[in-house]
Structure 1
Amino acid sequence: MSTTTARASFELQQIEPILSWAGTSGVDVDGLLHRLGIDPGKRRDAPGTRIDLVDYYRIQREIARSFDDLTAQLSERKLLYQTGTFVVTQIQAAATLQDAIRSLASHFNMMHGGRYNYVRQTDRTLTLVVDDSTFPYRFRDDRALTHFVGDALLIKTHALLDSLTGGAAGRGLQRVSLLRNRHDDGNGQLGFWQVPIGYGHAAYELIYDIDIACEPITPAPEVDLTADGIFARVIRHLDGLAPSADVRAFAVRTSDLISDGYETQAAVAQRLDVSVATLRRRLSEEGTSFRDILQESRAERAGLMLSQGISVSQVSDSLGYSDVRAFNRAFKKMRGVSPAAYAKSGVETAQA
C-alpha cells in the first residue's frame, strides 16, 4: 500500500440512522456535527453532502464517549469504553505483524464473545478474516448501513495495525475482500484502499504478504492505550495518509489534542502549527482558554474513570495531579461535587 491515499469520503445520509439513534438516546447530534465543522442543517437540506471518512471516526468517538460504549452503539452488546485498552496492550507486545494480527483476532473475539475473527495462512499470504454475519449489529436489517459499517471497520482495523506495527501492515497489504457488490451505491469510503478489492465475498479479509508479516517490527512509541487513544491513533493515521485542512474550531482541535496526551500549550500549538500566542488569541476569540479546556478534559476523563469504580487516588495519579487534594479541588470546581460524591452517585444510579 502506498504512503499516501485518496481522500476517502461518504455521504452524510449514509449514517443518518446512526445519528438519529444517537439523538433519540440523548446525544446532542447537532452540537457534535457543529464541533466537527459539519453544518447540522445538511442532514435535512443536503443529505448527499460528502464528508471526509476521517470524520466518521470522529463521530464514532464522540458517540462512544457519550454512551461509555466502545462500539458507539453499533452493537446491541455494550462494551465498556476502556475495554480497548486491554486489546491494544496485547497488540503492542507483538514482535511481528503476524503476532499483532493473531493477537487482535483472539482478543477481539474474547471481547465480543464470539468467533468473529480468525487468521488464515498460506506459504504466501497471511489473512485476517472478519466474519460479522452473526454479529449483533443494532442496524442489521439495514443492508447498506451494515456494509458501510463493515467497510469502515476494516479500514479502522488496518489503520490500527499499520500504526502499531511501524508501517508493516501498509507495506504488506496485498488486497482486501468485501461483502458488498461491485456496483453498490455508497462506496466512496473505498477510495481509501490502494490495493485490489474483491467484492461479493462471504466475509471481510485483509490479505498480507507472509514475508513482510514475519519481519521484526519496532512498535510505535508513546502508545495511548485508552479507547480515546485507539480512535485518536486511527484518526491521526488517516490524516497522515491524506492530509487536508482541518476546519474545526481551535477549541475543538485543542480538546482533541489534550485527549491525545498533549497537555501543554506549547505542545498543542506545535501540533496545530501556530505560535502559542496565536493559539491563545484564537481560543480567546472562541470564548475559552487553554486552561478551561484542559480542566474540562480532565474532569470528563475523571468522571468516566470514577463511574467505572476506579478509586479517587488512582484517578488523581492517572491524570497527573500533584496530590489528591488538588484533584478534589479541581473536580469540585468543575462538577460541583467532590470526586467521592460523584462516584457514589454513579453507583446509586446504576443500582436504581
Structure 2
Amino acid sequence: MSRAFVEIGDIQPLVDAAVEHGVDLAPFIQRSDEGGDARIEIADYFRIQRSLALASDDLTAVISSRKLTFKTGQFLIAQMQNATSLMATIEILAEHMNMMHGDTYNSVRFGDSRLALIIDDSHFPYRSRENTDFVELVGDCLTIKIHCLLDSLTEGAASAALRRIKLKRRRGETRRPQNAFWSVPLEYGAPAYELIYDFDLACAPLQIREAVDMSTDGLFSRVISHLDTRDAIDGERSIAARTRDLLEDGLSRQSDVARKLDISVATLRRRLSEEGVQFRDLLLETRLLRAEGMLKRGASVAQATEALDYSDIRAFNRAFKRWKGKTPAAFAQDFQS
C-alpha cells in the first residue's frame, strides 16, 4: 500500500455540506496545502466525513438523501464479536449494512478459490448523483473504508488475504490519487465495486477480541486510526522492503512501483542505491522466489518459465541455477524426494 490522497476539487459537495452544517474544514485542508498541492490525505477525507456525520447525526455524512442515524450502527456490535473468520466478518458486515440502509447494496460471492464482497451502489440515493466524479470518488473511498474496517477488526487478516479490487470508474481514465492506497491489481469498468479475497485465508480461524464500537464516531475513528498506524509503519520501513512488497503483489515496472510509493523513478533508484540494492536485483529475487514456490507445488519448468515471462527455458534455467546452484528441474526433483 502507498500513501493515498483526495483532490480537494473532487469533494466540493462535502465542502458545501460542511458550510451548511457549520463544520470548519480549515484544519484539514490547510495542513495538506503546505506543499501547494490541492489535495488532502485519505485519512483527512474520512476526518471530514466524520465531522459531517457527527454534525448532521447522519452516518452517511450527508452523502445519502436518506438519513442513517448513529444509533443504527450499534446493531453490529454483538454480531461482530461472534465472527470466527474473515469470511464470517465480511458476511456479518454485508448483512447488517443492508439492514441499516434498508436495501440490498452489499452481497458476498464465492468461487475460483476467491471470496468477493460486492458493493452495488447503482440505486443508492446519492444527494449528488448527477456529479459523476464525486459519486465515483465516494465509491472508491468506500472500498478503502470497508477494507480498513475489516483489516482492523481481523488484525491484518484482510490485507493478507486481499487479492484484487474492482472499481466502477472506466478503464483508461487518469488514475485518481485515492486509489494509490491499493497494492493489489485494480480492475476498472466493473458493474459494481468488489473486494476480492483469497478464500482459504478468509476461512482461517480468528477471534475479534476487542469491543467493537460501530457508532458514527467509533466507525470513522477505527478507520482513521488504522490508516494513521499504517502510514506510520510504512514511514519506518525501508524503500527496499516496501519495493519487495509491491513486487510480490505483482508489479514489475519501476514506474509502477515509484507511483505506488508516491516518488519519482529517479528518487526510487537513488533511495534503493543508498540502501545498497538495485531494482533489477529485487525484481529477479522476487521472480525466483515465486518460481521456487511454483516448483515446490508441482509446477513444471515450462509453466514456471511462462508464468515469470522469461523468453525461453534456457534463460530461466541459467537465472535459477545462479541463484540456487542447481537447475529448476534438479531443485524440484530434490524437493519432491
Residue 226, structure 1, aligned to residue 218, structure 2: no
2:96 and 2:142 mapped to 1: Cα distance? 16
Gaps of 5+ in 1: 245-352
Residue 39, structure 1, aligned to residue 15, structure 2: no
Residue 16, structure 1, aligned to residue 12, structure 2: yes
**Per-residue displacement from partner, 1:3-59 (whole Å, max 9, x unpaired)?**
xx2110011111012211331x2323xxx22333x32997xxx7x612101100000
Which residue identity is paired with 1:15? I
Please, which of 198, 202, 225 is the counterpart of residue 187 of structure 2?
Answer: 198
2:212 and 2:96 mapped to 1: Cα distance? 18
1:114 and 1:226 mapped to 2: Cα distance? 20
- 2:3 is aligned to 7
Structural mapping, 1:24-173, within 5 Å: 25-28=20-23, 32-36=24-28, 38-39=29-30, 49-173=38-162
- 1:288 is aligned to none
The number of residues matched between the two structures is 232
2:25 and 2:212 mapped to 1: Cα distance? 28
Distance of aligned partners of 1:188 and 1:88 in 2 relative to their CA distance in 1, 3 Å threshold: farther
Distance of aligned partners of 1:113 and 1:140 in 2 relative to their CA distance in 1, 3 Å threshold: same
Task: Look up the SS of the partner of 2:121 in the other structure.
Answer: coil
**Per-residue displacement from partner, 1:290-326 (whole Å, max 9, x unpaired)?**
xxxxxxxxxxxxxxxxxxxxxxxxxxxxxxxxxxxxx
Cα offset, 1:186, TM superposition = 6.4
Contact 1:166–1:217 (8 Å) recurs in 2: no
Which residue identity is paired with 1:33? L
1:63 and 1:129 mapped to 2: Cα distance? 26
Which residue identity is paired with 2:224? I
1:192 and 1:41 mapped to 2: Cα distance? 17
**Per-residue displacement from partner, 1:127-172 (whole Å, max 9, x unpaired)?**
0000000000111111110000000001000110111112111110
Contact 1:89–1:225 (8 Å) recurs in 2: no
Which residue identity is paired with 1:83? T
Bigger CA radius of gyration: 2
2:182 and 2:126 mapped to 1: Cα distance? 24
Task: Look up the SS of the partner of 1:242 in the other structure.
Answer: helix
Which residue identity is paired with 2:114? T
Q: Output the TM-score relative to the length of structure 2.
A: 0.65
Contact 1:85–1:227 (8 Å) recurs in 2: no
2:190 and 2:39 mapped to 1: Cα distance? 27
1:120 and 1:175 mapped to 2: Cα distance? 14
1:184 and 1:82 mapped to 2: Cα distance? 39
**Per-residue displacement from partner, 1:91-144 (whole Å, max 9, x unpaired)?**
232111111111111111111111111110015011000000000011111111
Task: Look up the SS of the partner of 2:191 in the other structure.
Answer: coil
Root mean square deviation, CA, Å: 2.1
Please, which of 211, 217, 221 is the counterpart of residue 206 of structure 2?
Answer: 217
Which residue identity is paired with 1:177? K
1:136 and 1:129 mapped to 2: Cα distance? 18
Task: Look up the SS of the partner of 1:39 in the other structure.
Answer: helix
Gaps of 5+ in 2: 234-337
Cα offset, 1:175, TM superposition = 0.3
Which residue identity is paired with 2:179? L
- 1:243 is aligned to 232
**Per-residue displacement from partner, 1:203-260 (whole Å, max 9, x unpaired)?**
000000000111111214243343211111100111111129xxxxxxxxxxxxxxxx
Cα offset, 1:82, TM superposition = 2.7
Distance of aligned partners of 1:241 and 1:18 in 2 relative to their CA distance in 1, 3 Å threshold: same
Task: Look up the SS of the partner of 1:127 in the other structure.
Answer: strand
Task: Look up the SS of the partner of 2:46 in the other structure.
Answer: helix
Contact 2:77–2:213 (8 Å) recurs in 1: no
